[in-house]
Structures are given as C-alpha cells and as structure tokens.
Structure 1
Amino acid sequence: MQTPESAYDRRRLRQWLSGAARADGVSRRDMLRLLAAAGLAGAAPAALGTPASADATASGIVKPLPESLLTVRGTNAETRFSALAGTGYHTPNDRFFVRNHTATPRLAAADWKLTVWGDGLAGRRAVDFSLADLKRLPSVTHSAFVECAGNGRGYFTSQQGQEVSGTAWTLGAVGVARRRGVRLADVLRRAGVGPRAVDVLPRGLDDDYVTADGTNLGRVRRPLPLSKALDDVLLAYEMNGAPLPPDHGYPVRVLVPSWIGVASIKWVGDIQVSARPLYSPWNTDFYRLFGDAHPDGGSAPLTRQTIKSAWELDGRAELAAGVTHRLTGRSWSGAGGIVRVDVSTDGGTGWTAARLHDAPRRDGWVRWSTPWRPPSPGSYTLLARATDSTGRTQPDATVHNTQGYLFDAVVRHAVDAV
C-alpha cells in the first residue's frame, strides 16, 4: 500500500511537470535535460555521474581518516563495522561515516545565521536566527541513525552481479548519534509559517555540486513535506555531547529521523517555506528508483530507510577454529524497530535467533550477539537476517535499481577459521 509520504511526493512531481511547482536555482534548459537523463521525459533513466570536483586522492574531509576506523571513498569515508565492536550504542564521532557531495566547508559559528524565507510564511518576510537564538529555544536531545540511501550499494555488484552507479559502499554508511538541538517546528512557528505552506526546503552551505558534464546544480537541498517538518525534524548543533564536528554539519544541521541521509542537510544556511511544491535534483533526478522493475519515470522520491544487518567483523576476518567466539552485530530499519535477528554460520542452511541487547526503535538500531564455535579450519559464510515491528524481514535479494539505492538483502559475510 502506498504511504501518505510517497503519495504526497508523487503529487508534487505531477505538479512540477504541469508547471505548478517551482524549480528554484536550476534553469529550464538544465531541468529538461536532467528530466530526460532521469527518464522523466520518456528517455531511458541514467545517473548524472560524479561531481567534477571529486578527486580520488583528496577526500575534502577534515577529520583524520585512519584505516583502522574508516575507508576513504572519494569525497566520502565509510565506517569499518569492526571498529564499532565494544563502542556502545552510539557511534563515536571519530568513526562516524562522512557523506559529502563536494567538500567539508569551514564555517565560523559567530558568522553563521539561518534564514527562513518564502511565500509560505504568513508575513512573507525573511527571518534570521543566529546560533545563540536557536540555543535560547527549548532544546531536544534525540538518538537516531543517519544512513546514506546508497548504503550497501556495492553488494548489488559483488553479491547479485548487477551494475549500478555511485559510491560502492558496503554497510558502513550509517551511524547512530545522540544529537541535541531545537525542533524545526519551533523555528518555523517563530518565523511565522502560514496556512498556505506545503513544502520546506533546507539548503546547505557547502560548495555547489557540479556534475561531470559541467552542469551546476547548486547547493545540496531537498524539500520536505510540511507535515514531516512539523513532526520530528531537528536543527541539531551538538553530536554525542560535543559541538557538531565540521564533517558532520557544524555549526547546525538538519536531522530527519528514519529518512534517507540526504534529507538531513548538513551546514544548513537557509530554509525556504513555500506555498507551492518545490523541486530539486535531489528528489527528482537523484534518490528515486529507476530501472526495469520500477515505474516509467521512476519511483516516488525516497523517504524512509529500509532494513539492514551487519556483523562487527572485517571481511574475511580470521577466527580460531575449535574456540567459542562471541560474534556481534547491529540491525536497523526506518519503518519499525528491530524485534528479531536470526543468524546463520553455515551459509543459510541452519538459523538461530541472536540475543538482542537494545529495545526496538524505529529510528535507532539494535545490537545483538551470538556464540559460534567453528568446528574446523576452513571458509564459512555468516548471515544475519532482521525482522522489524512492521513484520518486514530482510529478503534474499534486493530488486535492482540503476542508482543502487536501498539495498536490503541479507549480506553474505565470509570469514576464515584457522
């Protein structure tokens, strides 16, 4: 059954195509070209490629990237799941993954302001907020995962033999942090959100995103339905008890619990409140499902994350044979809390229930453990399969899409007993 969120986004797309929605910051010529590239104008869908500024030898990330904690992937850094073993529920800041479209900007809190503007405000006059202004509002602390929509993308190729575009993440483009900030709803009400408002569009302060063919798409921005913006969205200024690190949105970022990571705009600088639906490349050309198994013109824009499980082990980790090991992992879902995790140590022939160590939460994860004694030296395949409170269980394979989003299949994790 189609969710209200996806129904809303399909309506927004129809309104844009009919000329009733705005496409601020992108020329009509570029929009038509992008629509054709994405399959929305009758052509075959295609990814837009990597930004022209991407440099395989320079990540544009500020924090140290030790190989024991993170794997550099162009402008991004992926958490090594083995580095989370024993760290507790929250992902430490030094090993939290980084997803950048360009490079981390260096911003000064004293110079920063948030401008809320647009014809969806009752007075139609822009309102500015400093960091001090935000900190005078009632604060909220919330633990939630942030996860790139492409997390697990590499398994489309390595496990399913299918070609996809984009960064070949394994499962480390996810992390849970305790963030403190203010409700976006409180800020919007202070700014005077009006009864005609339908869309809220946060925009980052990182550099413009330029595709490989030279098209400048502007700064990263993605609209939210007003209903979501007024629900559980935060403007966060702390992460795990400290000011946001530069790579994670300093001084203020958006946090959209349970949704794909691109919705949680980092380094937010302005928020447009619109009386008409808004378009950006990040909800029409990117972050939809394209391919033979999906509707002509692509799916509705992606919102909630899917379900996944990961072992806290390196690939082809070596474990002593004939010794009982306590193996650990984590499972999460954007649709409901994790209520069960089944594990297999023989490639899926036999399954047992893992022990869960956290209460199920829709926007968090559950840590789990299982004992295993490899009977003899050799190669083994470990599997973990989660079920959430909505009844959804990880499938054996994920339906293919050309941009490699929302991989949710059980991952086959190889280990060697020695």
Structure 2
Amino acid sequence: MDEYAYDRMRREQWLAGEARAEGVDRRTLLRMLAAAGVAGPVLTAVGAGAASAASPVPDAASAASPVPGIVKPLPPEWFVPRGTNAEMRWDSVAGSGFHTPTERFFVRNHTSTPLIDPAAWRLKLTGSGLRRGDVEFDLAQLKRLPSTRITALVECAGNGRSFFLSQQGRTVPGTQWTLGGVGSASWRGVRLAELLHRAGLRREAVDVLPSGLDPEYVTGGVSLGRVRRPLPLAKALDDVLVAYEMNGEPLTPDHGAPVRLVVPGWIGIASIKWLGTVEVADEPLYSPWNTDFYRLFGEAYPEGGSAPITAQVVKSAFELPWAAVLEAGRTHRLTGRSWSGSAPVREVEVSTDGGAVWRRAHLLDHPRKDGWVRWSYDWRPGQPGAYQLRARATDRRGNTQPVTAVHNREGYLFDAVVAHPVTVTRPTAGQAAS
C-alpha cells in the first residue's frame, strides 16, 4: 500500500483507540492528526514516556576528535569522525570494487556499539500478531534455515545534510555529513518473511517493530528507549533480510553483530543493528523514530510533517578528494558512483564548467535495484584555475537530481547536484603532458 495512505490509516486507527505509541508524547500525535485532517474525539491514552522534539543525532564534532563508542579503527585516510559516527571518505574507496570493504564502511550510531556474545544472543518474535505466542531463535538455528544473499545499500537519511548550508545557505541540525554516510555490501541471512511465517502470522497482523540491543537513547534528559522503527507488514514480507554476514564474513560489532536487519531501498534507520526483538502487532505501532524523527518538517510540508520517510533519493559522488589538486594539460579519469532508492540508475552526466554543459559518463556496472552504479569520465583541463565538478544521475523512474533540494527542518534526503571543488595547476616543469 502507498505509504502516505497507510500512514493516514494508522493515524485514524490511533484516534479510534486501535494503535499504540510507546515513548511518543500526546502533543506529537495530535499534531500529526491535525496535519492529516483527521477529526474526532481522542479515545485512547498514549504510552508512557515523552519524546523530545530535538534531533536524534548530535551536532558534528571536530574532525580531529576521537569517536566514542566505535570499536573498529578509524584511520584518517579512510574516515571523518562526526560525533558518535564515522563518515567514509570517498577517495578511500576509489577502485575498491562494487562493495564497500567492511573496514571502510561508514558507521552510524545513536549511542555506542554494544559487544554481544553470539552464543548468548537470541532473537525473540513476540506480539499480538502471532498465532502461536512468542518464538525464539538462536544464531545456530538461524544459520540452519534457508539462506538468502542480497546486495543492498545502507544510507543515513541525513547523508548530504551539510550541503543545505554550504550550497543553499540554510542551517539544519544534526550530523553534518557530506556524501559519505552510505555504503554497499553483500549481505547473507534469512528473510524476515521466513521467520514470520514460521512464527505463525494472524490475519489481523499489520505492523512489525524491530528493536536493537544498543543502549537506550537519551535526549533532553528523557530516555526514548532502544532504537526501533515500525515496518508495514507488506514491506516486512517483501525483501527485508535478517542478516548475519556482511561481505562474506560474520558481521562485525559496529555493523550490527551478531545479527541486524537490512531493509533494501529504505533509509538506514529502518535497517536496525544488533537486532534483539521483533514485535508483530494487530494494531498500528508508533515510536519516536517515525513520529518526531525521520519525517519531513518545513514550509513545503504539512504542519504535522510528512509521512515517515522510507525510500532514499537520487545522489552522485566523485571518488576524489574534496578540493583535489589536478594538473592542467593531462587527461584525468574521474570516477564516481550514483544511486537511487526508487529504481536503478539509468544515466549519469558530468559537468566540468559549473553546470553549463553536461556530458554522459561511462557506466561501469549494469544498473540494478538497491545498488549503485560506478561510472567514469575523462577530463583534460586546459587552463589552471578553480573548477567545480558536478555529477547528476537519473533513475529509471525519471527521478533526476535537481539544482536545489527542497528544504526540511532536519536536513534529510538531500538530493541536489553537489558542486565538488578542484584546483587545476600548471604542468610540472620538465614533465610532458599526456
């Protein structure tokens, strides 16, 4: 079902006393109801706890600061530390292949990486949407079930957020990612649909709520509990994977060990790391991560915000250092990657003159759903000076990167063409141009 229609149905059911919203304050849901034009008396109380309206991610820390709570090494040639997160440097993955090496994969943490004993780990399926009551799986049981391998991107909803200020002059809160809050991997595990069918679904089941085992998230002095975000049952039964391997190896702690969710095409918050429970409910479910967080607020949206964000937008990135220095009179092979959460990328264009002229890049991969496409473009700058390189992608649904992204309060889903600065210098003395 269309997510907007489904979200409206959820709100109407909440109004009728048929939904649960743990950790979400009453004001938030009333604002959402008003924005949807839903009228009528409120017949149910909201679950305990109050959600803060603050952004769920901290401001970016200095790039020189260590990252608290991340386990793996973060060499500066691979990562830029940002608060509790680590952004991948695009020049570090140039020529690394289709999948992002695990050691170079970006890290997005709300709190800190937990260290979980795989032998003691259990996944509990519970809730009113199950016919047979609670069901548990340990890791060995999961691995005995039919396995599936997929390639999928994981991308933070705020990837590209910093460009709202640097390119469009509007400040937004949260981690100031450039374009390195994304990665592609080969994932192996069990389809969530397989586990749900084995647990036994009731016909009345409507929502699935996966929850992580990381520490509770506290903001404004209020604990919102562990990270969790509902999925419509239709999505849960479609292509969602309960993954225990990444790039052919067991998951590492920072990327969700021992087991995580992978939700292809959707924003990263849906792919819950350190998966511990999956609630299947016969009533719509809300959490702070689909009410105050991960909705679009601003002048272009209803007062109560958009429906929960799901699919990612179209983006392109050069595999080139920011403010790179290149030599005039030489042919430089520019490489990069483009992706979309809605459909495979159809074409990529590159401009080396500030967007006046666009020429097609050469695609190095067959475009595929839920993955990016690598591309190359040969450029021979004739004169020294400052240049801005631009790349824009179009997917098979006709979505093309715009000149300007629609502003929203939290800086999600930046999809505009990014101006990548380079400096072209005179040829080195005594060295022939190629």
Question: Deviation of residue 14 (structure 1)?
Answer: 3.5
Question: Deviation of residue 157 (structure 1)?
Answer: 0.5
Partners of 1:331 and 1:73 in 2: CA distance: 23
Equivalent residues of 2:67, 2:82 under 8 A apart = no
Which residue does 1:86 correspond to in 2?
95
For residues 337-373 of structure 1, what are the alpha-carbon distances to aligned partners after superposition, in whole Å with 9 as ceiling and x for unaligned?
A: 0010010001111110000011111200000000001
The change in CA–CA distance for 1:17 and 1:158 in structure 2 (over 3 A counts) is farther
- Secondary structure in 1 matching 2:286: coil
Q: 2:25 aligned with 1:31, yes or no?
A: yes
Question: Deviation of residue 77 (structure 1)?
Answer: 0.4
Equivalent residues of 1:293, 1:401 under 8 A apart = yes
Describe how 1:280-295 pairs up with structure 2 within 5 A: 280-295=287-302
Question: Deviation of residue 335 (structure 1)?
Answer: 0.5
One-letter identity of the residue aligned with 1:11: M
Which residue does 2:120 correspond to in 1?
111
Partners of 2:56 and 2:347 in 1: CA distance: 38
Which residue does 1:192 correspond to in 2?
200
User: Which of 246, 250, 257 lines up with 1:239 in the alignment?
Assistant: 246
Equivalent residues of 2:59, 2:83 under 8 A apart = no
One-letter identity of the residue aligned with 2:14: W
Partners of 2:272 and 2:60 in 1: CA distance: 19
- Secondary structure in 2 matching 1:417: strand
Equivalent residues of 1:53, 1:102 under 8 A apart = no
Describe how 1:327-338 pairs up with structure 2 within 5 A: 327-338=334-345
For residues 13-46 of structure 1, what are the alpha-carbon distances to aligned partners after superposition, in whole Å with 9 as ceiling and x for unaligned?
A: 333344321123x2xxx6125558x87778xxx9
User: Which of 38, 44, 55 lines up with 1:49 in the alignment?
Assistant: 55
Q: Which has the greater radius of gyration?
A: 2
Partners of 1:247 and 1:188 in 2: CA distance: 26
User: Which of 63, 66, 74 lines up with 2:83 in the alignment?
Assistant: 74
Equivalent residues of 2:130, 2:200 under 8 A apart = yes
Partners of 1:260 and 1:274 in 2: CA distance: 22
Describe how 1:312-331 pairs up with structure 2 within 5 A: 312-331=319-338
Gaps of 5+ in 2: 36-51, 426-434
Equivalent residues of 1:149, 1:262 under 8 A apart = yes
For residues 48-69 of structure 1, what are the alpha-carbon distances to aligned partners after superposition, in whole Å with 9 as ceiling and x for unaligned?
A: 1357999865421000001100
The change in CA–CA distance for 1:138 and 1:252 in structure 2 (over 3 A counts) is same
- Secondary structure in 2 matching 1:111: coil
Which residue does 2:365 correspond to in 1?
358
User: What is the TM-score when the length of structure 1 is the normalising length?
Assistant: 0.94
User: What is the TM-score when the length of structure 2 is the normalising length?
Assistant: 0.90
What percentage of residue pairs aligned between the two structures are identical? 61
Count matched residues. 406
Partners of 1:230 and 1:308 in 2: CA distance: 28
- Secondary structure in 2 matching 1:287: coil
Partners of 1:292 and 1:223 in 2: CA distance: 26
Which residue does 2:386 correspond to in 1?
379
Partners of 2:150 and 2:333 in 1: CA distance: 30
* Segment drifting more, 393-402 vs 7-16: 7-16
Which residue does 2:8 correspond to in 1?
10
Question: Deviation of residue 122 (structure 1)?
Answer: 1.2
User: Which of 338, 348, 356 lines up with 1:341 in the alignment?
Assistant: 348
The change in CA–CA distance for 1:188 and 1:87 in structure 2 (over 3 A counts) is same
Describe how 1:269-280 pairs up with structure 2 within 5 A: 269-280=276-287
Gaps of 5+ in 1: none
Q: 2:128 aligned with 1:130, yes or no?
A: no
Partners of 2:326 and 2:58 in 1: CA distance: 43
- Secondary structure in 2 matching 1:298: coil
One-letter identity of the residue aligned with 1:31: D
For residues 303-345 of structure 1, what are the alpha-carbon distances to aligned partners after superposition, in whole Å with 9 as ceiling and x for unaligned?
A: 1111100001111011111110000000000100001001000
- Secondary structure in 2 matching 1:302: coil
One-letter identity of the residue aligned with 1:32: R
The change in CA–CA distance for 1:48 and 1:364 in structure 2 (over 3 A counts) is same
